[in-house]
Structure 1
Amino acid sequence: MKVYGKNVFNELKTNRDKIKKVYLSASFKDEDIVRFIKENKIPYVTVDKRKFDSMVDGNTQGIILDVADFQYKKLEEIDTLEKKIVILDHLEDPHNFGAIIRTCEASGIKSIIIPRDRSVQVTPTVVKTSTGALEYVNIYQVSNLKQAIEYLKKRGYFIYGAEADGRAYDEVSYSEKMVLVIGSEGHGISRIIREACDEIISIPMYGHVNSLNASVSFGVLVYGIKN
Protein backbone atom coordinates (compact mmCIF):
# COMPACT_ATOMS: atom_id res chain seq x y z
CA MET A 1 0.00 0.00 0.00
CA LYS A 2 1.26 3.47 -0.85
CA VAL A 3 0.70 6.17 1.78
CA TYR A 4 1.95 9.72 1.81
CA GLY A 5 2.69 12.88 3.74
CA LYS A 6 5.31 14.11 6.20
CA ASN A 7 3.25 13.37 9.32
CA VAL A 8 2.70 9.80 8.16
CA PHE A 9 6.43 9.36 7.62
CA ASN A 10 7.30 10.85 11.01
CA GLU A 11 5.01 8.37 12.75
CA LEU A 12 6.06 5.35 10.71
CA LYS A 13 9.78 6.02 11.10
CA THR A 14 9.55 4.78 14.71
CA ASN A 15 8.53 1.41 13.26
CA ARG A 16 10.60 1.57 10.12
CA ASP A 17 10.31 -2.15 9.34
CA LYS A 18 6.89 -1.26 7.92
CA ILE A 19 8.50 0.98 5.30
CA LYS A 20 9.50 -0.91 2.17
CA LYS A 21 10.58 2.07 0.10
CA VAL A 22 10.32 5.86 0.01
CA TYR A 23 9.64 7.94 -3.10
CA LEU A 24 10.69 11.57 -2.97
CA SER A 25 9.65 14.27 -5.38
CA ALA A 26 12.57 15.95 -7.13
CA SER A 27 11.46 19.17 -5.42
CA PHE A 28 11.33 17.69 -1.89
CA LYS A 29 13.26 19.97 0.50
CA ASP A 30 12.82 18.58 4.03
CA GLU A 31 16.45 18.02 5.01
CA ASP A 32 15.62 16.33 8.33
CA ILE A 33 13.56 13.63 6.62
CA VAL A 34 16.15 13.11 3.88
CA ARG A 35 18.91 12.82 6.49
CA PHE A 36 16.91 10.28 8.51
CA ILE A 37 16.27 8.17 5.40
CA LYS A 38 19.94 8.13 4.48
CA GLU A 39 21.28 7.54 8.00
CA ASN A 40 18.89 4.64 8.57
CA LYS A 41 19.51 3.14 5.13
CA ILE A 42 15.83 3.17 4.16
CA PRO A 43 15.52 2.37 0.44
CA TYR A 44 14.48 5.48 -1.47
CA VAL A 45 14.38 6.96 -4.93
CA THR A 46 13.95 10.50 -6.22
CA VAL A 47 11.26 10.78 -8.91
CA ASP A 48 10.64 13.55 -11.44
CA LYS A 49 7.52 15.63 -10.82
CA ARG A 50 5.36 14.27 -13.64
CA LYS A 51 5.85 10.63 -12.68
CA PHE A 52 5.63 11.42 -8.96
CA ASP A 53 2.29 13.23 -9.32
CA SER A 54 0.83 10.24 -11.15
CA MET A 55 1.69 7.76 -8.39
CA VAL A 56 -1.11 8.63 -5.95
CA ASP A 57 -4.10 10.96 -5.80
CA GLY A 58 -3.73 13.38 -2.89
CA ASN A 59 -1.59 16.04 -1.25
CA THR A 60 1.64 14.07 -0.84
CA GLN A 61 3.83 16.93 0.45
CA GLY A 62 6.48 15.45 -1.83
CA ILE A 63 6.87 12.08 -0.08
CA ILE A 64 5.26 8.70 -0.77
CA LEU A 65 5.90 5.54 1.24
CA ASP A 66 5.45 1.99 0.06
CA VAL A 67 4.42 0.16 3.24
CA ALA A 68 3.18 -3.26 4.24
CA ASP A 69 -0.58 -3.74 3.83
CA PHE A 70 -2.57 -2.75 6.90
CA GLN A 71 -3.19 -5.60 9.31
CA TYR A 72 -6.65 -5.65 10.88
CA LYS A 73 -7.15 -7.29 14.26
CA LYS A 74 -9.68 -9.97 15.16
CA LEU A 75 -12.46 -9.23 17.64
CA GLU A 76 -11.18 -11.95 19.98
CA GLU A 77 -7.99 -9.93 20.43
CA ILE A 78 -9.77 -6.90 21.89
CA ASP A 79 -8.88 -5.84 25.42
CA THR A 80 -12.20 -6.05 27.26
CA LEU A 81 -10.80 -3.97 30.13
CA GLU A 82 -11.06 -0.90 27.89
CA LYS A 83 -13.75 1.53 29.04
CA LYS A 84 -14.78 2.87 25.61
CA ILE A 85 -14.95 1.09 22.27
CA VAL A 86 -16.21 2.52 18.97
CA ILE A 87 -18.24 0.74 16.29
CA LEU A 88 -18.65 2.31 12.85
CA ASP A 89 -21.77 0.97 11.15
CA HIS A 90 -20.90 1.01 7.43
CA LEU A 91 -19.21 4.40 7.38
CA GLU A 92 -18.27 5.25 3.79
CA ASP A 93 -16.12 8.40 3.72
CA PRO A 94 -12.37 7.81 4.23
CA HIS A 95 -11.91 11.39 5.46
CA ASN A 96 -14.49 10.80 8.20
CA PHE A 97 -12.82 7.52 9.11
CA GLY A 98 -9.41 9.15 9.34
CA ALA A 99 -10.77 12.02 11.44
CA ILE A 100 -12.51 9.59 13.81
CA ILE A 101 -9.28 7.62 14.23
CA ARG A 102 -7.49 10.87 15.05
CA THR A 103 -10.13 11.83 17.64
CA CYS A 104 -9.98 8.35 19.18
CA GLU A 105 -6.24 8.61 19.64
CA ALA A 106 -6.49 12.12 21.10
CA SER A 107 -9.20 11.06 23.57
CA GLY A 108 -7.53 7.82 24.64
CA ILE A 109 -9.78 5.35 22.81
CA LYS A 110 -7.78 2.38 21.55
CA SER A 111 -10.28 0.27 19.59
CA ILE A 112 -12.53 0.77 16.55
CA ILE A 113 -14.65 -2.01 15.06
CA ILE A 114 -15.72 -1.92 11.41
CA PRO A 115 -17.55 -4.40 9.15
CA ARG A 116 -15.63 -6.22 6.44
CA ASP A 117 -18.17 -5.47 3.70
CA ARG A 118 -19.91 -2.30 2.45
CA SER A 119 -17.74 -0.08 4.61
CA VAL A 120 -14.72 2.16 4.25
CA GLN A 121 -11.49 0.30 4.97
CA VAL A 122 -8.00 1.58 5.79
CA THR A 123 -6.85 3.34 2.62
CA PRO A 124 -4.03 5.81 1.90
CA THR A 125 -6.56 8.64 2.37
CA VAL A 126 -7.52 7.29 5.80
CA VAL A 127 -3.86 7.01 6.78
CA LYS A 128 -3.18 10.57 5.62
CA THR A 129 -6.26 12.05 7.33
CA SER A 130 -5.46 10.32 10.61
CA THR A 131 -2.10 12.18 10.61
CA GLY A 132 -0.26 9.28 12.21
CA ALA A 133 -2.93 8.37 14.79
CA LEU A 134 -3.52 5.03 13.08
CA GLU A 135 -0.25 3.81 14.61
CA TYR A 136 -1.86 4.01 18.06
CA VAL A 137 -5.45 2.84 17.44
CA ASN A 138 -6.43 -0.78 16.80
CA ILE A 139 -8.87 -1.46 13.96
CA TYR A 140 -10.93 -4.65 14.29
CA GLN A 141 -12.61 -6.00 11.18
CA VAL A 142 -15.64 -8.27 11.63
CA SER A 143 -18.00 -10.08 9.29
CA ASN A 144 -21.09 -9.41 11.41
CA LEU A 145 -21.56 -6.26 13.51
CA LYS A 146 -24.57 -7.59 15.38
CA GLN A 147 -22.61 -10.62 16.54
CA ALA A 148 -19.76 -8.31 17.57
CA ILE A 149 -22.21 -6.31 19.69
CA GLU A 150 -23.51 -9.47 21.35
CA TYR A 151 -19.91 -10.52 22.05
CA LEU A 152 -19.25 -7.20 23.80
CA LYS A 153 -22.53 -7.25 25.73
CA LYS A 154 -21.56 -10.60 27.22
CA ARG A 155 -18.39 -8.93 28.47
CA GLY A 156 -20.19 -6.17 30.30
CA TYR A 157 -20.49 -3.42 27.70
CA PHE A 158 -23.55 -1.18 27.33
CA ILE A 159 -24.23 -0.16 23.72
CA TYR A 160 -25.10 3.45 22.84
CA GLY A 161 -26.17 4.31 19.30
CA ALA A 162 -25.90 7.89 18.03
CA GLU A 163 -29.00 8.98 16.07
CA ALA A 164 -30.95 12.20 15.59
CA ASP A 165 -34.06 11.00 17.45
CA GLY A 166 -32.40 9.73 20.62
CA ARG A 167 -32.22 11.06 24.15
CA ALA A 168 -29.97 14.10 24.59
CA TYR A 169 -26.50 12.72 25.27
CA ASP A 170 -25.88 15.11 28.18
CA GLU A 171 -28.95 13.82 30.03
CA VAL A 172 -27.79 10.19 30.05
CA SER A 173 -26.00 8.37 32.86
CA TYR A 174 -23.41 6.17 31.17
CA SER A 175 -22.17 2.70 31.97
CA GLU A 176 -18.56 2.30 33.07
CA LYS A 177 -17.92 0.06 30.05
CA MET A 178 -19.53 1.41 26.90
CA VAL A 179 -19.60 1.07 23.13
CA LEU A 180 -20.48 4.07 20.96
CA VAL A 181 -22.02 3.23 17.58
CA ILE A 182 -21.78 5.76 14.74
CA GLY A 183 -23.83 5.17 11.59
CA SER A 184 -23.11 5.81 7.94
CA GLU A 185 -23.19 9.32 6.48
CA GLY A 186 -26.29 8.82 4.38
CA HIS A 187 -28.38 6.30 6.31
CA GLY A 188 -27.33 6.46 9.94
CA ILE A 189 -27.37 3.29 12.02
CA SER A 190 -28.93 0.30 10.27
CA ARG A 191 -32.18 -1.10 11.70
CA ILE A 192 -30.69 -4.36 12.93
CA ILE A 193 -27.83 -2.59 14.71
CA ARG A 194 -30.16 0.02 16.19
CA GLU A 195 -32.31 -2.75 17.64
CA ALA A 196 -29.20 -4.25 19.23
CA CYS A 197 -28.31 -0.97 20.98
CA ASP A 198 -29.24 -0.55 24.64
CA GLU A 199 -29.91 3.17 24.28
CA ILE A 200 -30.09 5.75 21.49
CA ILE A 201 -28.50 9.12 22.18
CA SER A 202 -28.43 12.34 20.20
CA ILE A 203 -26.81 15.76 20.05
CA PRO A 204 -29.36 18.57 20.64
CA MET A 205 -29.60 20.83 17.59
CA TYR A 206 -30.58 24.47 18.09
CA GLY A 207 -30.02 25.97 14.65
CA HIS A 208 -31.55 25.53 11.21
CA VAL A 209 -29.23 22.65 10.26
CA ASN A 210 -30.55 19.33 11.55
CA SER A 211 -27.45 17.16 11.22
CA LEU A 212 -23.68 17.16 11.65
CA ASN A 213 -20.86 15.46 9.79
CA ALA A 214 -20.21 11.96 11.21
CA SER A 215 -16.72 12.78 12.47
CA VAL A 216 -17.89 16.08 14.00
CA SER A 217 -20.76 14.32 15.79
CA PHE A 218 -18.33 11.72 17.05
CA GLY A 219 -16.01 14.38 18.46
CA VAL A 220 -18.85 16.12 20.29
CA LEU A 221 -20.04 12.86 21.84
CA VAL A 222 -16.64 11.48 22.81
CA TYR A 223 -15.66 14.62 24.68
CA GLY A 224 -19.15 15.24 26.03
CA ILE A 225 -19.81 11.78 27.44
CA LYS A 226 -18.71 11.22 31.02
CA ASN A 227 -18.63 7.65 32.29
Structure 2
Amino acid sequence: MSEDDFVLQEFYKIITPNKVDLFERIAPQRSRHIVVCLENIQQDHNASAVMRSMDCLGFQELHLIEKNNNYQFQRDIALGAARWLDVVQHQTPPEPGLDAIDSLRKKGYQIVATSPHHKATTSQSIDLVQPMALFFGAEKHGISEELKENADVFLHIPMHGFTESLNLSVSVAILLNTIRTRLASSNIQWQLPQTEQTALKIEWCERILNGGPQLAKKFREEFKKV
Protein backbone atom coordinates (compact mmCIF):
# COMPACT_ATOMS: atom_id res chain seq x y z
CA MET A 1 0.00 0.00 0.00
CA SER A 2 1.35 3.42 -0.96
CA GLU A 3 1.40 6.38 1.39
CA ASP A 4 -1.43 8.08 -0.50
CA ASP A 5 -3.51 4.89 -0.43
CA PHE A 6 -3.05 4.74 3.34
CA VAL A 7 -3.99 8.41 3.81
CA LEU A 8 -7.13 8.00 1.71
CA GLN A 9 -8.07 4.86 3.62
CA GLU A 10 -7.84 6.77 6.90
CA PHE A 11 -9.91 9.66 5.55
CA TYR A 12 -12.58 7.24 4.35
CA LYS A 13 -12.98 6.02 7.93
CA ILE A 14 -14.18 9.46 9.04
CA ILE A 15 -16.13 10.94 6.14
CA THR A 16 -19.68 9.83 5.35
CA PRO A 17 -20.31 6.74 3.20
CA ASN A 18 -22.20 8.98 0.80
CA LYS A 19 -19.11 11.13 0.25
CA VAL A 20 -16.98 8.01 -0.22
CA ASP A 21 -19.36 6.76 -2.90
CA LEU A 22 -19.38 10.16 -4.61
CA PHE A 23 -15.59 10.43 -4.66
CA GLU A 24 -15.20 6.89 -5.99
CA ARG A 25 -17.74 7.54 -8.74
CA ILE A 26 -16.59 11.02 -9.77
CA ALA A 27 -12.78 10.79 -9.62
CA PRO A 28 -12.54 8.33 -12.57
CA GLN A 29 -14.52 10.84 -14.65
CA ARG A 30 -12.21 13.77 -13.92
CA SER A 31 -9.76 15.04 -16.53
CA ARG A 32 -6.85 17.42 -16.95
CA HIS A 33 -6.49 16.51 -20.62
CA ILE A 34 -8.35 19.78 -21.25
CA VAL A 35 -7.73 22.75 -18.97
CA VAL A 36 -9.66 26.02 -19.17
CA CYS A 37 -7.91 29.39 -19.06
CA LEU A 38 -9.82 32.65 -18.49
CA GLU A 39 -7.91 35.74 -19.52
CA ASN A 40 -8.61 38.90 -17.52
CA ILE A 41 -12.30 38.22 -16.97
CA GLN A 42 -14.14 41.37 -15.92
CA GLN A 43 -17.37 39.94 -14.51
CA ASP A 44 -16.99 37.54 -11.63
CA HIS A 45 -20.34 35.86 -12.23
CA ASN A 46 -19.15 34.65 -15.64
CA ALA A 47 -16.10 32.96 -14.15
CA SER A 48 -18.25 31.42 -11.42
CA ALA A 49 -20.62 30.01 -14.02
CA VAL A 50 -17.64 28.58 -15.91
CA MET A 51 -16.53 26.78 -12.76
CA ARG A 52 -19.96 25.24 -12.39
CA SER A 53 -19.91 23.98 -16.00
CA MET A 54 -16.41 22.58 -15.58
CA ASP A 55 -17.41 20.65 -12.48
CA CYS A 56 -20.54 19.26 -14.14
CA LEU A 57 -18.57 18.11 -17.19
CA GLY A 58 -15.62 16.70 -15.24
CA PHE A 59 -12.81 19.09 -16.16
CA GLN A 60 -10.64 19.57 -13.11
CA GLU A 61 -8.27 22.49 -13.71
CA LEU A 62 -9.01 26.19 -14.23
CA HIS A 63 -6.38 28.85 -14.88
CA LEU A 64 -7.14 32.49 -14.11
CA ILE A 65 -4.99 35.10 -15.83
CA GLU A 66 -5.33 38.32 -13.86
CA LYS A 67 -3.56 41.22 -15.52
CA ASN A 68 -6.01 43.99 -14.60
CA ASN A 69 -8.74 42.30 -12.60
CA ASN A 70 -8.61 40.25 -9.41
CA TYR A 71 -11.18 37.50 -9.55
CA GLN A 72 -13.56 36.74 -6.70
CA PHE A 73 -15.92 33.88 -7.48
CA GLN A 74 -19.56 34.16 -6.45
CA ARG A 75 -20.49 31.19 -4.30
CA ASP A 76 -24.20 31.35 -5.11
CA ILE A 77 -23.45 30.87 -8.82
CA ALA A 78 -20.57 28.42 -8.47
CA LEU A 79 -22.78 26.29 -6.17
CA GLY A 80 -19.80 24.81 -4.40
CA ALA A 81 -17.91 23.99 -7.61
CA ALA A 82 -14.84 25.87 -6.35
CA ARG A 83 -14.41 23.27 -3.61
CA TRP A 84 -13.93 20.49 -6.13
CA LEU A 85 -11.78 22.21 -8.78
CA ASP A 86 -8.09 23.10 -8.91
CA VAL A 87 -7.73 26.83 -9.58
CA VAL A 88 -4.34 28.18 -10.71
CA GLN A 89 -3.88 31.96 -10.65
CA HIS A 90 -1.41 33.75 -12.92
CA GLN A 91 -0.55 37.26 -11.73
CA THR A 92 3.17 37.58 -12.58
CA PRO A 93 3.84 41.03 -14.07
CA PRO A 94 4.13 42.39 -16.66
CA GLU A 95 2.37 39.72 -18.76
CA PRO A 96 0.74 36.98 -16.68
CA GLY A 97 -0.80 35.58 -19.86
CA LEU A 98 2.63 34.79 -21.28
CA ASP A 99 3.56 33.19 -17.95
CA ALA A 100 0.51 30.92 -18.22
CA ILE A 101 1.21 30.04 -21.85
CA ASP A 102 4.84 29.18 -21.11
CA SER A 103 3.93 27.09 -18.07
CA LEU A 104 1.24 25.10 -19.88
CA ARG A 105 3.27 24.59 -23.02
CA LYS A 106 6.12 23.11 -20.94
CA LYS A 107 3.59 20.59 -19.57
CA GLY A 108 2.73 19.48 -23.10
CA TYR A 109 -0.45 21.44 -23.70
CA GLN A 110 -1.27 22.95 -27.07
CA ILE A 111 -2.45 26.54 -26.72
CA VAL A 112 -5.94 26.92 -28.17
CA ALA A 113 -7.46 30.41 -28.35
CA THR A 114 -11.18 30.90 -28.80
CA SER A 115 -12.08 33.75 -31.11
CA PRO A 116 -14.98 34.46 -33.49
CA HIS A 117 -12.54 36.22 -35.80
CA HIS A 118 -10.23 33.24 -36.39
CA LYS A 119 -12.40 30.56 -37.96
CA ALA A 120 -9.73 27.90 -38.28
CA THR A 121 -11.50 24.97 -36.66
CA THR A 122 -14.41 23.92 -34.47
CA SER A 123 -14.83 21.71 -31.43
CA GLN A 124 -16.16 18.99 -33.72
CA SER A 125 -13.01 18.85 -35.82
CA ILE A 126 -10.10 19.93 -33.59
CA ASP A 127 -7.53 17.22 -32.86
CA LEU A 128 -7.93 16.09 -29.24
CA VAL A 129 -4.97 13.72 -29.01
CA GLN A 130 -2.61 16.34 -27.55
CA PRO A 131 -3.68 17.87 -24.21
CA MET A 132 -5.31 21.24 -24.75
CA ALA A 133 -5.26 24.53 -22.84
CA LEU A 134 -8.45 26.26 -23.93
CA PHE A 135 -8.16 30.05 -23.59
CA PHE A 136 -11.11 32.43 -23.39
CA GLY A 137 -10.70 36.20 -23.51
CA ALA A 138 -12.35 39.08 -21.68
CA GLU A 139 -16.05 39.63 -22.32
CA LYS A 140 -15.78 42.90 -24.24
CA HIS A 141 -12.39 42.71 -25.90
CA GLY A 142 -11.80 39.00 -26.41
CA ILE A 143 -8.36 37.42 -26.36
CA SER A 144 -5.26 39.58 -25.98
CA GLU A 145 -2.72 40.33 -28.68
CA GLU A 146 -0.18 38.27 -26.73
CA LEU A 147 -2.44 35.25 -26.93
CA LYS A 148 -3.16 35.78 -30.62
CA GLU A 149 0.57 35.80 -31.30
CA ASN A 150 1.30 32.69 -29.23
CA ALA A 151 -1.69 30.44 -29.89
CA ASP A 152 -1.11 27.13 -31.67
CA VAL A 153 -4.72 26.79 -32.81
CA PHE A 154 -7.77 29.05 -33.04
CA LEU A 155 -11.21 27.71 -32.22
CA HIS A 156 -14.64 29.18 -32.86
CA ILE A 157 -18.31 28.31 -32.45
CA PRO A 158 -20.19 28.66 -35.76
CA MET A 159 -22.87 31.35 -35.60
CA HIS A 160 -26.10 31.17 -37.60
CA GLY A 161 -27.91 34.32 -36.49
CA PHE A 162 -27.52 38.09 -36.42
CA THR A 163 -25.50 38.07 -33.20
CA GLU A 164 -21.81 37.27 -33.66
CA SER A 165 -20.93 36.00 -30.20
CA LEU A 166 -22.24 34.12 -27.18
CA ASN A 167 -21.97 34.85 -23.48
CA LEU A 168 -18.62 33.68 -22.10
CA SER A 169 -19.97 31.00 -19.79
CA VAL A 170 -22.32 29.71 -22.51
CA SER A 171 -19.41 29.44 -24.96
CA VAL A 172 -17.34 27.49 -22.44
CA ALA A 173 -20.21 25.10 -21.70
CA ILE A 174 -20.92 24.44 -25.38
CA LEU A 175 -17.29 23.76 -26.26
CA LEU A 176 -16.58 21.62 -23.20
CA ASN A 177 -19.72 19.55 -23.70
CA THR A 178 -18.80 18.77 -27.31
CA ILE A 179 -15.19 17.99 -26.40
CA ARG A 180 -16.22 15.80 -23.46
CA THR A 181 -18.58 13.80 -25.68
CA ARG A 182 -15.83 13.28 -28.26
CA LEU A 183 -13.29 12.25 -25.61
CA ALA A 184 -15.69 9.74 -24.05
CA SER A 185 -16.17 7.99 -27.40
CA SER A 186 -12.46 8.02 -28.30
CA ASN A 187 -9.45 5.85 -27.44
CA ILE A 188 -7.63 8.83 -25.93
CA GLN A 189 -6.46 8.35 -22.33
CA TRP A 190 -8.17 11.49 -21.06
CA GLN A 191 -8.87 10.32 -17.51
CA LEU A 192 -6.53 11.01 -14.62
CA PRO A 193 -4.00 8.26 -13.88
CA GLN A 194 -4.89 6.19 -10.82
CA THR A 195 -2.24 7.87 -8.66
CA GLU A 196 -3.63 11.31 -9.54
CA GLN A 197 -7.16 10.13 -8.79
CA THR A 198 -6.05 9.03 -5.33
CA ALA A 199 -4.28 12.35 -4.72
CA LEU A 200 -7.37 14.23 -5.87
CA LYS A 201 -9.65 12.26 -3.54
CA ILE A 202 -7.31 13.12 -0.65
CA GLU A 203 -7.55 16.81 -1.57
CA TRP A 204 -11.33 16.58 -1.62
CA CYS A 205 -11.30 14.98 1.83
CA GLU A 206 -9.06 17.78 3.11
CA ARG A 207 -11.43 20.41 1.74
CA ILE A 208 -14.60 19.06 3.31
CA LEU A 209 -13.20 18.50 6.81
CA ASN A 210 -12.23 21.06 9.40
CA GLY A 211 -8.51 20.68 9.87
CA GLY A 212 -8.30 18.46 6.81
CA PRO A 213 -4.69 19.31 5.89
CA GLN A 214 -3.59 18.70 9.48
CA LEU A 215 -5.31 15.32 9.43
CA ALA A 216 -3.52 14.40 6.21
CA LYS A 217 -0.20 15.32 7.80
CA LYS A 218 -1.05 13.18 10.84
CA PHE A 219 -1.95 10.19 8.64
CA ARG A 220 1.31 10.52 6.71
CA GLU A 221 3.27 10.49 9.95
CA GLU A 222 1.38 7.37 11.03
CA PHE A 223 2.19 5.66 7.73
CA LYS A 224 5.91 6.20 8.27
CA LYS A 225 5.65 4.39 11.60
CA VAL A 226 3.94 1.33 10.15
TM-score relative to the length of structure 2: 0.61
Whether 2:43 is the aligned partner of 1:93: answer: yes
Q: Which runs of 5+ in 1 are unaligned?
A: 1-14, 16-80
Given candidates 162, 165, 168, the residue that maps to 2:114 is 162
Q: Give the residue type in structure 2 aligned to 1:104.
A: M
Structure-2 residue corresponding to 1:131: 79
Q: Which runs of 5+ in 2 are unaligned?
A: 1-14, 16-30, 184-226
Q: Deviations over 1:182-218 (max 9, x none)?
A: 1100000001012111100100001111110000011
Structure-1 residue corresponding to 2:144: 190
Q: Give the residue type in structure 2 aligned to 1:149.
A: I
DSSP 3-state at the match of 1:103:
helix
Which segments of structure 1 move beyond 3 Å, counting only runs of 4 or more? none
DSSP 3-state at the match of 2:35:
strand
Structure-2 residue corresponding to 1:121: 71
Q: Give the residue type in structure 2 aligned to 1:129.
A: I
Paired residues in the alignment total: 147
Higher strand share: 1
Compute the displacement of 1:120 (Å): 4.6
Q: Is the 8 A contact 1:114 1:145 kept in 2?
A: no
**What does 1:1-227 correspond to in 2, within 5 Å?**
82-123=32-73, 126-142=74-90, 143=92, 144-165=96-117, 166-169=119-122, 170-225=124-179, 226-227=182-183
Higher helix share: 2
Q: Is the 8 A contact 2:40 2:66 kept in 1?
A: no
Compute the displacement of 1:115 (Å): 2.3
Q: Distance in 1 between matches of 2:55 and 2:87?
A: 12
Q: Distance in 2 between matches of 1:223 and 1:130?
A: 18
Q: Distance in 1 between matches of 2:45 and 2:158?
A: 24
